[in-house]
Chains A and B, each alone.
Chain A
Amino acid sequence: MNDIKTISEDELLARIKEIIVEYSGQKWALIPLVQKIQNEFGYIPPPSIPLIAGSLGFFPSEVQGVISFYAQLYTTPRGRNVVRVCKGTACHVRGGKTILKLVKQHLQIEEDQTTADMEYTLETVACIGVCALAPNIVIGNQVYGNVNPKKLGQLFKRNGG
């Protein structure tokens, strides 16, 4: 993902229009198009939905439906680091729930929210495949196993939180 850009909404929409034009009238191109927008901005700004719909020949609600169907597509800005707390069975029995609560406290946000400084976005996942190390969390691309409250504090400090 690119760095988050701080640009005005007008500029944002102008740029999005430029991207959309290339796909005008091509219904099949919905997914590549929204991916392209997401790659550039880190998310798909909601005002772009009616524009995408109009240009490709969808209803806006349809485009929203598709975007909301895919967990990898976002309509809110995302932080520089995505924190994923595991809610899978193994992590759950080893205190995953408490970990999630603590992370929320640390970051002062709820699930699927982003910190005001755009540093962190909090998500949960169902098992990341390293159950032996449960409870697990992932920050960015890095997995941290056997997390406990103390370790958590350090993690977020280390990551500048």
Chain B
Amino acid sequence: MQPVTITLNGREVSGHPEMTILELARESGITIPTICNEPHLTSIGSCRLCLVENEQNGALLASCVTPIVPGMVINTESPRVMEHRRMIVKLMLASHPDSCLVCDKGNRCQLHQIASDLGIGLLELQRIPQTAAIEEVNPFIERDMSKCILCAKCVRACQELVVEGALDYFQRGFIARPATLNNSPLENSECTFCGVCVALCPTGSLMEKKRVYQGTTKNLVNTTCPYCGCGCSISLEVKDNYIVAARPGKVDTENEGTLCVKGSYGFDFIHSPDRLKKPLVKVNGAFQETSWEKALEETAEALNLIKEQYGPDSLAVLGAVKCTNEENYLLQKFARTVLGTNNIDNSSRLYNPATRLGLGTSIGFPGTTNCLEALEQSEVIVAIGTDPAASAPRVNYAIKRAVKLRGAKLILIDPRRTKLSSFAHLWLRPKVGTDLVLLNSMSRLIIDESLLDKEFVTRKTDNFDALPGALEKYSLEYAETLTGIKKEEIHSAARLYALADQAAIIYGTGITQHPGGTASVKALFNLALLTGNIWRNGGGIYALQRDNNGQGACDMGALPDFLPGYQSTEDLQAKKKFEEHWGVSLPANPGLTALEIMEQIKAGKIKGLYIVGENPVLSFPRSDFVTEALSSLDFLAVQDLFLTETARLAGVVLPAASFAEKEGTFTNFEGKTGRIRKAVAPAGECLPDWEIILRLANKMERPLPFSTIQQVMEEIEELVPLYEGYLDSEGKYQNEWGFWKRRSHRWHSLKGFPRFSTAEYTPPEKKINEDYPLTLLTEAVLYHFGTGTRSSRAWRLQQFSPRIFIRINEADAKKLGLSPLDKVRIISPVAELTAAVSITGALPEGIASLPASFPEAPATRLFDINLDTETKTPSLKACNVRIERIDDHE
């Protein structure tokens, strides 16, 4: 296409034909003030502040919505333009309230900034200030609509970015305002308190509530959210060593200026009074504060002693899905070279191995095959075993944007009604545990009806011949009987998926935490492979990761059977490479997985354990068993931010710095690496995990050869092929290292073509136990995270969602005589918990669901240890329970 040339402030400049005057001006270094324009929102041209003059005909044009036309002569600062601009701002100011003077938005207010840039002093207009009641019941957002200047950024943010649609204009003219349905307070609307509208609002009409620090902060630190596996980039506002607020990172970052409520309002656990400040040692059963010197000495001695007495394999290490890549790398190196054991695992064991095994064996690449931008381009999206609105909000936004703004069709496979159900084109509700049957029957139908991508299958895949036979029994009729989904619906879903040019599959813990999860992952992969949806630009397979750095912990080899970069501990060549580089001989046998470690502690084989940032007492099944095991150890050291349920059992507790108090990188579920940066000094005497590990190695007289985090990254670059090229030519972190590297690496590591693998459904042993008639599903909730250690200490999250509810179906509630808010005992064969009742139409009869993230009632406790034979993942998704009402007098 021919570039278009125009004259801008007397200078000739050229741009693409579709550019607006504003875009070209920005590109040419000319500033035009704007209010309603935002590059990642549709332009509406409503504020008129961006006026420019067309000198050929004297027309005043809103530059943000006017495309460039060859030969245009534009002046952005003509006297007429300036006069109009000033008048527009004056009019806005004239309707602004007096409280403007003491507004907390302070110097961040765009209206202020623009007024002072334009040199507006006296208003010379009669003021007609708006009035409005300030809305502030919820703990997150304060709305003062008297300061609204109708730029509609909040409306567009809510509709176009996070796609909640909580807001739109209500009424018109002078009284028009952005409002929720029925003008109700935010907490009674669709709002999820993502804070995106607050970050975009140019004035003080939308503000974070109760800013701890009043006034203006100048220091912004760009970093990465520490909660879920989406890895959103976030900016922390810092003042006087205090984090005042968080907002979405720059718009050009992956999350496009979006966050969820945890990213925006969940950071203040950093400043929680509960933070550990000094190392603790247990003396006669009680903790005493001590110095780093003493704490590390005691730890080093204890570990060395156990190693000498019982050998290296009597030691084990657990960690660390919340820590950085560098720290995980150090931790596994510590385990393998300092302790001398492969007994290292991390808590992504609880949800990730099915993916590692299922995808790893098929494509040689253990994880998500494409990026979220590509997901948004997909025509059809299958979401199965996941409620991303709660567990991966950014993915949820991407799915909804694809559906709402690009017309993608969503096939939702979930027995529960979730927030995505209303976006679904097809919503299939299989009986719990029958996903595999459904997926296999879809594959069979695709083959039977010749809907497969034959050319791709013949030329680019292996082992197709094994498939048709293995799928023989998965007829639509068979699938209908087992899954409870109508044949016709399965048929439509299979056709829709197969006929799309680019189709994506997203799955989460609903797949991987079920026994047999690996088989379901393989079945999903078969579907993608049959239809050629693997290497395309759109589509692919998206394996969600729960934790911020579950992906990184595994990439870095904090795993018993893999050295860094998924190089098997049994691959002699890989082993040799590491041995040469590290100058030690490495243990030959693979180590124990997380739950096996617990079992071996119980069996007396493992005597000493070092836990970094994990809380197995709450996150593993059978906390009674885990507690007993941990208490029976000769030595337990726990490194954490808080005195967690697990840390209480330790002999030594080492206080660690939070994500905002150190440097490093996280890798999100897509495989993209995000930088974390130090925003404030560590609380008390806390140290970054990496520094603690290094000091401990020194104390054990086996120092690791690093003194800075960069040096660690350099070694990672050298030894972990997935992370090659992470540093730029000057040895500095590249901020946006790419997942493209990872993708291209996959091509190299793949021996042969991606393989079909058969996935046989094994019905659960029919043990219908009348005593436990309900199926309980564990679920993620938006306002809390993981075991709740951090989110329960973020006061806004805690205040908004203070207690645990079990959700049960109306019919079940009726049978049990339960009303909303009743307290109940939830009893499984191994444990019981109490929770309040919430009655819902979202669940099918016979199914209840309980969030996993409330420390006072950890749902994991209800589960027996029941390991998948292949992956050693404990089943943590569904168990059988009964529910009893607790009468008030009890």
Could you tell me which A residues sit within 8 Å of B by CB distance?
A: 46, 49-50, 54, 57-62, 64-65, 68-69
Interface contact A62-B159, CB-CB below 8 Å:
yes
**Residue contacts A-B, CB under 8 angstroms, 10 given:** A46-B182, A57-B404, A60-B190, A61-B170, A62-B159, A62-B165, A64-B168, A64-B170, A65-B168, A69-B169
Interface contact A54-B422, CB-CB below 8 Å:
yes
Interface contact B159-A68, CB-CB below 8 Å:
no
Interface contact A49-B181, CB-CB below 8 Å:
yes
Given contacts A49-B181, A50-B181, contact A61 B168 (CB under 8 A): yes
A58–B182 Cα distance when bound, in Å, is 16
Which residue of the partner chain A has the closest CB to B170? A68
Could you tell me which B residues sit within 8 Å of A by CB distance?
A: 159, 164-172, 179-182, 189-190, 404, 422
Instruction: Report which of B167, B171, B404, B422 forms a contact with A68, defined as CB distance below 8 A.
Output: B171
Instruction: Report which of A58, A62, A68 forms a contact with B172, defined as CB distance below 8 A.
Output: A68
Total residue contacts A-B, CB cutoff 8 A:
43
List chain A residues, Cβ under 8 A from B169: 65, 68-69
A61–B422 Cα distance when bound, in Å, is 15
Contacts A49-B181, A59-B164 known; 19 new A-B pairs at CB < 8 A: A46-B182, A59-B159, A59-B166, A59-B168, A60-B165, A60-B181, A61-B165, A61-B170, A61-B179, A61-B180, A61-B190, A62-B159, A62-B168, A64-B179, A65-B170, A68-B171, A69-B169, A69-B171, A69-B172
List chain B residues, Cβ under 8 A from A64: 168, 170, 179, 181-182
Interface contact A59-B171, CB-CB below 8 Å:
no
A61–B180 Cα distance when bound, in Å, is 6
List chain A residues, Cβ under 8 A from B422: 54
Taking the closest CB of chain B, its distance from the CB of A114, in whole angstroms, is 18
Taking the closest CB of chain A, its distance from the CB of B194, in whole angstroms, is 15
A64–B181 Cα distance when bound, in Å, is 7
List chain A residues, Cβ under 8 A from B189: 61
A50–B182 Cα distance when bound, in Å, is 11
A65–B164 Cα distance when bound, in Å, is 15
A65–B183 Cα distance when bound, in Å, is 11
Taking the closest CB of chain B, its distance from the CB of A53, in whole angstroms, is 8
Most buried by B among A49, A60, A61: A61
Taking the closest CB of chain B, its distance from the CB of A75, in whole angstroms, is 9
List chain B residues, Cβ under 8 A from A57: 404
A59–B180 Cα distance when bound, in Å, is 10
Interface contact A61-B181, CB-CB below 8 Å:
yes
Most buried by B among A46, A59, A64: A59
A58–B166 Cα distance when bound, in Å, is 11
A141–B566 Cα distance when bound, in Å, is 81
Interface contact A61-B167, CB-CB below 8 Å:
yes
Which residue of the partner chain A has the closest CB to B423? A57
A54–B421 Cα distance when bound, in Å, is 11
A34–B180 Cα distance when bound, in Å, is 19
Interface contact B166-A61, CB-CB below 8 Å:
yes
Which residue of the partner chain A has the closest CB to B180? A61
List chain B residues, Cβ under 8 A from A60: 165, 181, 190
Taking the closest CB of chain A, its distance from the CB of B224, in whole angstroms, is 30
Nearest 6 pairs of A and B residues by beta carbon: A59-B165, A65-B168, A61-B168, A60-B181, A68-B171, A65-B169
Taking the closest CB of chain B, its distance from the CB of A49, in whole angstroms, is 7
Taking the closest CB of chain A, its distance from the CB of B541, in whole angstroms, is 28
A59–B786 Cα distance when bound, in Å, is 31
List chain A residues, Cβ under 8 A from B164: 59
Taking the closest CB of chain A, its distance from the CB of B41, in whole angstroms, is 15
List chain B residues, Cβ under 8 A from A49: 181
A58–B170 Cα distance when bound, in Å, is 15
Taking the closest CB of chain A, its distance from the CB of B581, in whole angstroms, is 56
Taking the closest CB of chain B, its distance from the CB of A102, in whole angstroms, is 25
A126–B168 Cα distance when bound, in Å, is 27
Which residue of the partner chain B has the closest CB to A71? B172
A61–B190 Cα distance when bound, in Å, is 9
List chain B residues, Cβ under 8 A from A61: 165-168, 170, 179-181, 189-190
Which residue of the partner chain A has the closest CB to B404? A57
A60–B404 Cα distance when bound, in Å, is 14
Which residue of the partner chain B has the closest CB to A57? B404
A61–B178 Cα distance when bound, in Å, is 9
Taking the closest CB of chain A, its distance from the CB of B583, in whole angstroms, is 62
List chain A residues, Cβ under 8 A from B181: 49-50, 60-61, 64
List chain A residues, Cβ under 8 A from B159: 59, 62
Taking the closest CB of chain B, its distance from the CB of A116, in whole angstroms, is 22
Taking the closest CB of chain B, its distance from the CB of A36, in whole angstroms, is 21
List chain B residues, Cβ under 8 A from A59: 159, 164-166, 168, 190
A64–B189 Cα distance when bound, in Å, is 13
Which residue of the partner chain A has the closest CB to B403? A57
A59–B165 Cα distance when bound, in Å, is 5
Taking the closest CB of chain B, its distance from the CB of A76, in whole angstroms, is 12
A58–B181 Cα distance when bound, in Å, is 12
List chain A residues, Cβ under 8 A from B180: 61
A65–B166 Cα distance when bound, in Å, is 11
Which residue of the partner chain A has the closest CB to B182? A46
Which residue of the partner chain A has the closest CB to B183? A64
A53–B168 Cα distance when bound, in Å, is 13
A85–B475 Cα distance when bound, in Å, is 71
Taking the closest CB of chain A, its distance from the CB of B153, in whole angstroms, is 15
List chain A residues, Cβ under 8 A from B165: 58-62
A57–B172 Cα distance when bound, in Å, is 23
A46–B179 Cα distance when bound, in Å, is 15
Which residue of the partner chain B has the closest CB to A67? B170
List chain B residues, Cβ under 8 A from A58: 165
Most buried by B among A54, A57, A60: A60
List chain A residues, Cβ under 8 A from B182: 46, 64
A62–B165 Cα distance when bound, in Å, is 8
List chain B residues, Cβ under 8 A from A68: 169-172
Which residue of the partner chain B has the closest CB to A50? B181
List chain A residues, Cβ under 8 A from B168: 59, 61-62, 64-65
Which residue of the partner chain A has the closest CB to B175? A68
Taking the closest CB of chain B, its distance from the CB of A84, in whole angstroms, is 18
List chain A residues, Cβ under 8 A from B166: 59, 61
Taking the closest CB of chain A, its distance from the CB of B389, in whole angstroms, is 15
Most buried by A among B170, B181, B404: B181
A64–B404 Cα distance when bound, in Å, is 18
Taking the closest CB of chain B, its distance from the CB of A4, in whole angstroms, is 22
A49–B181 Cα distance when bound, in Å, is 9
Taking the closest CB of chain B, its distance from the CB of A69, in whole angstroms, is 5
Taking the closest CB of chain A, its distance from the CB of B193, in whole angstroms, is 16
A69–B167 Cα distance when bound, in Å, is 14
Which residue of the partner chain A has the closest CB to B166? A61
List chain A residues, Cβ under 8 A from B171: 68-69
Taking the closest CB of chain A, its distance from the CB of B44, in whole angstroms, is 13
A46–B180 Cα distance when bound, in Å, is 13
Taking the closest CB of chain A, its distance from the CB of B167, in whole angstroms, is 6
Which residue of the partner chain B has the closest CB to A59? B165
A54–B424 Cα distance when bound, in Å, is 11
A89–B660 Cα distance when bound, in Å, is 62
A61–B404 Cα distance when bound, in Å, is 15
List chain A residues, Cβ under 8 A from B172: 68-69
A61–B172 Cα distance when bound, in Å, is 14
A57–B425 Cα distance when bound, in Å, is 11
Most buried by A among B168, B189, B190: B168
Taking the closest CB of chain B, its distance from the CB of A47, in whole angstroms, is 10
A62–B156 Cα distance when bound, in Å, is 11
A155–B181 Cα distance when bound, in Å, is 38
A54–B404 Cα distance when bound, in Å, is 12
Taking the closest CB of chain A, its distance from the CB of B523, in whole angstroms, is 32
Taking the closest CB of chain B, its distance from the CB of A2, in whole angstroms, is 26
A49–B179 Cα distance when bound, in Å, is 14
Taking the closest CB of chain B, its distance from the CB of A14, in whole angstroms, is 18
A60–B184 Cα distance when bound, in Å, is 13
A61–B166 Cα distance when bound, in Å, is 6
A128–B167 Cα distance when bound, in Å, is 34
A149–B170 Cα distance when bound, in Å, is 36
A68–B169 Cα distance when bound, in Å, is 9
Taking the closest CB of chain B, its distance from the CB of A111, in whole angstroms, is 13
